[in-house]
Every structure is written in structure tokens, then in C-alpha cells.
Amino acid sequence: MVTQEQEQTRAAWDSIAAGYDEFVTPTHMSVANEGLRRAGLRSGMRMLDVAAGSGALSIPAARLGARVLATDISPVMVERLTSRAREEGLVNLEGQVMDGHALELDDNTFDLAGSQFGVMVFPDMPRGIRELARVTKPGGRVLMNVYGPPTQVEFFGFFIAALQAAVPGFTLPMDPPPLPFQLRDPETLRQELATAGLKDVQVETITERLEFQSANHMWDWVVNSNPVGAMLVADLTEEQKVSVRQALDDLLRERAGGTGPAVLTNPVHIGVGTK
């Protein structure tokens, strides 16, 4: 039985799926490759991707020859993912609609179970990690790619600064921080993986680089990146939206030195544990 909370979550992600697929998914595939390399993914392995979106982790895994099951609570995300797989001829990738809090999968099934920027936003994140561990074979690995501290995630900081410039008095509650940052501390990620029963847990922080061509490009990226992004601008007037874009344009032009795309960086924690 689908709960009201599940329906709301599904609807929120369905509503941004097209924009997420167009603007966000392509930008995160390089981070996926870094995580998959550290987790030891090899051709022929069976892999699960939870909260897969439109395939930023599972598409690179399938390209490497893994047999991938990609799951997401959003049917529209899964449609986008399977469309990407068809376009590339990746017959080794299957998509299914599923809630990562309660995977409809047997124990001890996958060589690698992973989530990139997915389980980190779960209301019950520890349960999501336990589910990843449950369906992993003994000796298999669990991979989590998550954002570091919001104060160091530049796309977030730029966008909040632009909102504050355009909307005097704008504040975003940060205690606790938004769900995308609940694993911002690498030690918290390490502890959660260990608490789920995983051994030999390794957490490494890398720097993700994102290029933004314009204020409009960054606006499209942020508001489609997560329901939180869409929420930030939901109540703005059209005049305020124009002002936010103008402030973003100033910030990005300053970062770019006046020409070319602006490069913003984000710390990403890559956590890997063995069952």
C-alpha cells in the first residue's frame, strides 16, 4: 500500500524529472565513475542502483559491463533512465519503480549496491543504507556518493547568495540542514555504513567541478536538481525571479573572469563498505 508520504515524494520527483534528466544527470557521471572505480566494479558483476534518478550512476556502471538494476520511487525518472539506456544500446540495464526504504528484493543478491545523491536525501537515511546492505552478497560492497558541507558546496552557496540579494531577509533554516546535507560530515557517513553492518569502511572526499554557461543555465540546474531546489523558488514573484537571475549572472561572470563558463566546485564524500 502506497502511503501519502510516498505519493508526495513520488510527485515531487516526477515534477522535476525532465529537467533533472536534461540538466543534472550528465553533470554527475564523472563522480559516478570515481565511485565505481573505488568500489571495484567489474564487468559481469550484478549491481543495484537505489534512488537512481535518470541514471547518473547506473548508466556508467552499465557501460563498464555490469548487469544493473536501477530503482527509483519516481516512474518518470525510471522512464527517463530506461530511455537513456535504449539510446546507448545498454541491454544490461533494467529500471524498476521501487521505494529504497523498503526494497522489494531478496537478501544477498548483488555484488555491489550503490546510491549517488539518492539515499542521502531519504527521510529515514539509515534505513536506506541498511536496505543497501541487506541486498548485497556477503563479500560484496556498498557505495554511497554524497555531498559534503553546504558551506563548501558552491552551487548551493551561489544560489542562496543570489536569493538573498534579490529577496531581502531571505533565510534558509540550517539547523538541521536540508536533507541533501545530512551526511555532510565524512565521519557520519563512515558511522552509518558501519552501523549497517559493513566492514572495512573507507570514506574519501573528492572535488566535483560543475560548469555553468549562464545564470539561466544555473537556475535550470538548481531548481531541477532536487525538490529542495524547486521549493526555494516556489513562492518568488516573477520580478524576484528576474532579480535572482541577475544576481547569479553577476556572481558567475565574476567567477569566470568575464569570459567562458564559470566553474563551481563541491566536495563529494565517496563511502565504500564490505558486507
pLDDT at 143 (0 to 100): 98
Cβ contacts of residue 243 below 8 Å, gap of 6+? 165, 166, 167
pLDDT at 126 (0 to 100): 98
CA 140 – CA 200 distance, rounded (Å): 12
DSSP string, 94-147: EEEE--TTS--S-SS-EEEEEEESSGGG-TTHHHHHHHHHHTEEEEEEEEEEEE
pLDDT at 174 (0 to 100): 80
Task: Compute the Cα dihedral for 43, 46, 48, 52 and give only its sign.
Answer: positive
pLDDT at 171 (0 to 100): 86
One pLDDT digit (tens) per residue for the chain, 275 residues: 678 888 999 999 999 999 999 999 999 999 999 999 999 999 999 999 999 999 999 999 999 999 999 999 999 999 999 999 999 999 999 999 999 999 999 999 999 999 999 999 999 999 999 999 999 999 999 999 999 999 999 999 999 999 999 998 888 888 888 889 999 999 999 999 999 999 999 999 999 999 999 999 999 999 999 998 888 898 899 999 999 999 999 999 999 997 889 999 999 999 999 99
pLDDT at 173 (0 to 100): 81
| Nine cell digits for residue 97 | 519503480
* Peptide bond preceding 180 in cis form (omega within 30 of 0): no
pLDDT at 247 (0 to 100): 96
DSSP string, 46-96: EEEEES-TTTTTHHHHHHTT-EEEEEES-HHHHHHHHHHHHHHT-TTEEEE
CA 9 – CA 18 distance, rounded (Å): 16
pLDDT at 216 (0 to 100): 96
All domains in the chain, ordered by first residue: 4-274 (3.40.50.150)
Q: What are phi and psi of 95, to 5 degrees?
A: -115, 140
Query: pTM of the full predicted structure?
Result: 0.96
pLDDT at 259 (0 to 100): 82
pLDDT at 209 (0 to 100): 97
pLDDT at 157 (0 to 100): 95
pLDDT at 168 (0 to 100): 87
Which region holds residue 72: left if phi is over 0, alpha if psi is between -120 and 50, else beta? beta
